Amino acid sequence: MSIAAHEKFRVIHRGVEYEFEAAEEGGFIALVPDYPACVSQGETFEEAFENIQDGLVEILATARKLGLDIPSSFEHLVAAR
């Protein structure tokens, strides 16, 4: 699969939508449209996907520790922690 720089695509995994963009310099930028504070990247799609998932779990765990609201659609990601 070949993806041009700045081309975007979305993946839904475990009920969470992730957006990926091919970076001009190579690799991928990843974000969670429903939680815009969560952004990551990786040299490959697989690395970017792993990084964004880990980042989302960590940011949600931190939000919970700080007493911030977590959208109900993400609760299943931190419930087991």
pLDDT digits (tens, 9 = 90+) for 31-44: 999 999 899 999 99
What's at 43, amino acid-wise?
E
All domains in the chain, ordered by first residue: 8-78 (3.30.160.250)
pLDDT in tens, 46-78: 999 999 999 999 999 999 999 999 888 898 888
Retrieve residue 39's tokens: 């952004």
Residue 54 to residue 50: CA distance in whole angstroms: 6
Asked whether the whole model's pTM tops 0.85, one would answer yes
Partner residues linked to 13 by β-bridges: 16
Residue 35 to residue 23: CA distance in whole angstroms: 21
